[in-house]
Amino acid sequence: MTRWILSACLVASSCAGGPARPAAIALGQEPCAHCRMVIVSLATAAQIAAPGEEPTMLDEIGCLREYLSNALLPDGAMVFVADHRTRAWVDARAAVFTRTSVSTPMASGLLAHADAASRDADPAARGGDSVAASAILGLPGRSATP
């Protein structure tokens, strides 16, 4: 029994190490950490992940921007956004952001994409205005230029 407990502790501690990774969102069940609405779409979702911490889930980029303006992130935290077109998680510091007329949960109209190619392939982003990552994250980031 003691050997099993020790093994379980070693496995658990090894899972907590390493860089932060995005977690799966339980759509329709997980509340947004900023607006408290239930997250219903991965297309506009974001999250903050930190080693050894529960992830902070957000339903859209506008909520992410507001949350980050008032939050202190834990050591090793990473911010991830979902690529609107592919729904894949992307490091927000490298993402391309666009303000569009697309309906988003809190009406920010902000969409994220992994890169300009993904943005350009997404009909929802056409005609939108580029937004610098630093304007969303409050962190140094690359400007999202067309």
Report domain extents, the chain.
19-137
Q: State the pLDDT at residue 19.
A: 85
Per-residue pLDDT of the chain (146 residues; tens, 9 = 90+): 434 343 333 334 434 567 899 999 999 999 999 999 999 999 999 999 999 999 999 999 999 999 999 988 999 999 999 999 999 999 999 999 999 999 999 999 999 999 999 999 999 999 999 999 999 998 543 333 33
Q: State the pLDDT at residue 139.
A: 58
Q: State the pLDDT at residue 18.
A: 77
Q: Is 53 exposed, middle or buried (0-12, 13-18, 19+ CB in 10 A)?
A: middle
> Could you tell me the pTM of the whole model?
0.82
Taking CA atoms, 52 is separated from 14, 15, 115, in Å, by 10, 8, 29
Q: State the pLDDT at residue 141.
A: 38
Residue with token string 């304007």: 135
Q: State the pLDDT at residue 16.
A: 53
Q: State the pLDDT at residue 12.
A: 43
DSSP helix/strand/coil, 86: coil
